[in-house]
Amino acid sequence: MAEDKVEFELVSPEKLLLSREVDMVVIPGAEGDMGVLPQHSPAITTVRPGTIVVYEGGAVTDRIFIAGGFAEVSDNRCTVLAEEAMPVEDIDKASAEQALSDARDDVGAAENDSQRNAAETAATVAEAKIQAVDSPAYS
């Protein structure tokens, strides 16, 4: 591996989605976006619903929506374990808007905390999908 690269892996429950050397990756960390460059300090963090942005050659090469998960960073390696992942261009905005509407209805109709939490999580994911389509960060 090149010293000036980061080995990035994106893994979903179904499969390894991406594995390659990149210049930088930006992760939607629970406490804010986190850029990972070579020689990064070790870290483990939760990942919120949002967009992973991959840079190579000074340009964005990939924008991948994730619904949450965990990230582990070491000096030249970054692994993201995602609950769900898809390229931003594969998001159907109309479906995401309908999912958001349904989730908001489910929050109001929830009969207990478990149902409310699940509906709120679904709403957060749907909102993040819409934002990924409407407001591409780090273009």
Residues 90-99: pLDDT tens digits? 999 999 999 9
> Do 124 and 97 lie in a common domain?
yes
What confidence score (pLDDT) does residue 96 get?
A: 96
> Do 102 and 36 lie in a common domain?
no
Question: What is the distance between the alpha carbons of residues 66 and 49, in angstroms, rounded to a whole number?
Answer: 6
Q: Structurally, how many domains does the chain consist of?
A: 2
Q: What phi and psi, each to the nearest 5 degrees, are found at residue 112?
A: -155, 175
> Do 52 and 114 lie in a common domain?
no
> Do 97 and 76 lie in a common domain?
no
DSSP-derived secondary structure for 6-24: EEEEEE-SS-EEEEEEESE
- In a domain, residue 1? The reply is no
pTM of the model: 0.89
Structural domain span for residue 110: 91-134
DSSP 30: T
Is 80 exceeded by the pLDDT of residue 133?
A: yes
